[in-house]
A and B are shown apart, each in its own frame.
Chain A
Amino acid sequence: MVPVIEIKDLAKYFSVPAGKNLAVDGVSLKIERGKTMGVVGESGCGKSTLGRTIIRLYEPTSGQILLNGEDVSHAKGAQLKKARENMQIIFQDPYSSLNPRMTVEETVSEPLEISHKYKSKAEIMDKMRELFHRVGIDKRYRLAYPHEMDGGRRQRVGIARAIALNPEFVMCDEPVSALDVSVQAQVLNLLMDLQEQYQLTYMFVTHDLSVVKHISDHISVMYLGQLVETSPSKELFANPLHPYTKALLSAIPSIDIHRPMQRKILKGELTSAINPKPGCRFAPRCEFATESCSAPQGLQEVGTDHFVSCCRINEI
């Protein structure tokens, strides 16, 4: 089966005064229909840029984006429009992702009006009512403005807008990290219900590992623009191999007060991906770093679908 999304060696560089910021640098991955790919990493690791480049909010610097096998990496005009209807995004911040001067109804109906798939006003209203029902917004909120709703409802409006055109692929950019725990669970369940109903394919970008474990089939760990490890979800949590993945997993605050995690506290902080040296970008923070780490690294398969980018993987 052709994966819904496949990216090959995708790169997105930004020019900054200090040089080039390699926000996404040579990332390859594929996502099968109806599956969820979790992408985790710290802020500034390029996970959001990766997602936005895939849905073509940014023009990729190099590499390929295949949507159902069709190369859309440099699509223009009608082809780009068609591709965008198929690839949508749910944003992190339900405050800034909704136009404060538009009512819920205007926000949700806008993609329907633009797409020309719906001929009459009545058809649009019908579709909108269906969407409201699907995402669980009470009709009473039709004419409300974003500032009159709470975070959970706003996020539901954002979801309704994203699924309005029946996309196949939805990139979820930290959709629950701005929400309270009790509401977060509601939204996560909603996302999973929608996935089942519509066979949606998700890319789920987050820094919250317990959330990503819950929702993902497959997880990729990013560090400074590169994938350091990618593996099926269960395998990654059971058998993390890259030193960064290990540190990341051990840093999660656990609510189990009787079995505190063996902490690996990382020294230092995420540096930046501006003009990096070749070689492993994690090496300056890595306790196992040796000279061999300054050579360029590549992903190597260590198990079924489990890839790691670390030259010392067999030694540690």
Chain B
Amino acid sequence: MKEKKHNHKKHNHENHIHEEQIQVRKKSMTMITLKRLSESKTAMIGLGIIILIFLVSLIGPFFCKYGVNEMIMADRCLPPSAKHWFGTDTYGRDIFVRLLYGGRYSLILGISGSLFGLAIGVVLGLINGYIGGAFDNIFMRILDIWSAIPGTLLAVLISTVLGPGFFNTMVALSIGSVPLIIRLLRGRILSVGHEEFLEAATTINASPFRIMFKHMLPNVISPVIVNTTMSVGGVILEAAALSYIGLGIQPPNPEWGAMLSDAKNYATYYPWMLLFPGCAIALVVLCINLLGDGLRDAIDPKLKK
């Protein structure tokens, strides 16, 4: 993209008469998609709320009078009030502050987990699609085994082996989504794989790398992007599940799932401890699904009725 803009400027003076005729730069597919996306109200609301939550979680804690891990023994297990908006937990920590602070972990974990899975899946999927044939056959059987293991179980296994920590948790969370991404890519590659522009690329001596990433990728990626967006919510839930059983983000760091896990024993006595983190997770997942829905319609308008 950068390169193109550069040329654009360089030769602008030479044929600016022509430039005027085609007005601005002809719209690229990406621009068209983004424009369509921006026309979808629900997607924009979803995106807006996610950005809002993220910003608030980043800067919010600085403006609160309680520290994240600050325990006030006198204020244990208080219901929501003017002093503690969302109440306090069993250690006397302010749930509102912890929710804000935990949002960072949950959102970043959700997004980076999905992206990491996307990256692995795309590379493997493209290589498989490019080689094809017998390799594809064997690779698909490996995937069958891979996807036969439930995602959560896989995450638990990897998390146990790698140990806790942010990066390890992210890896553990992303592995489960890889087979689906490869399968999605494979389907797309099978349908565009025989198009002649790929043969054309071969005849001009394009390298396999170039064919995979410049010619195949942009034409097969859209359903995968949509899928990844939708999976962010799932990854957040899974991260919560990991924390819930004591893996993943470790205490005392607040993570929404971990907060749920802490609250589980007191649910009947102090329901707010469960309610607020639960609502936060539900809200983010909802917003991300709204965004993913809008993105799917924007990328493939044919699906929309």
Contact = CB atoms under 8 A, between A and B. Distances in A.
A–B touch (CB < 8 A): the answer is yes
Contact of A101 (B11, B15, B199, B219): B219
B29 A101 contact: yes
Interface stretch (B18-26, B109-117, B157-165, B168-176): B18-26
Interface residues of A, number: 39
Nearest to B196: A97
B197 A99 contact: yes
B5 to A, nearest CB: 11
Given A89-B199, A125-B7, A139-B15, A145 B29 contact: yes
A111 B202 CA distance: 10
A93 B194 CA distance: 12
B21 to A, nearest CB: 6
Contact of B204 (A92, A93, A145, A161): A161
A140 interface: yes
B208 interface: no
Interface stretch (A80-88, A179-187, A225-233, A269-277): A80-88
A143 B29 contact: no
A16 interface: no
B197 A98 contact: yes
A145 B31 CA distance: 13
B26 A144 contact: yes
A139 B21 CA distance: 11
A41 to B, nearest CB: 20
A175 B155 CA distance: 53
B206 interface: yes
Q: Is the interface of B mostly helix, strand, loop or mixed?
A: helix
A98 B210 CA distance: 15
Given A143-B25, A145-B28, A96 B197 contact: yes
Contacts of A316: none
A140 B22 contact: yes
A96 B195 contact: yes
A121 B15 CA distance: 17
Interface in B188-206: 195-197, 199-206
A105 B26 CA distance: 12
A91 interface: yes
B251 interface: no
Contact of A114 (B8, B197, B204): B204
B219 A114 contact: no
Given A98-B197, A101-B219, A143-B22, A110 B206 contact: yes
Interface of A: 52, 55, 57, 81, 84-85, 87-89, 91-93, 96-103, 105-106, 110-111, 114-115, 121, 125, 138-140, 143-145, 148, 158, 161, 164-165
Given A96-B197, A100-B197, A143-B22, 10 more contacts: A55-B203, A57-B199, A85-B205, A96-B195, A139-B15, A139-B18, A140-B18, A143-B4, A143-B25, A145-B28
Interface of B: 4, 7-8, 11, 15, 18, 21-22, 25-26, 28-29, 195-197, 199-207, 210, 214-215, 218-219
24 contacts: A85-B205, A87-B203, A93-B196, A96-B196, A97-B197, A97-B199, A100-B197, A101-B218, A102-B214, A105-B4, A110-B201, A114-B204, A114-B205, A114-B207, A115-B204, A139-B15, A140-B18, A140-B21, A144-B26, A145-B28, A148-B26, A161-B200, A161-B204, A164-B204
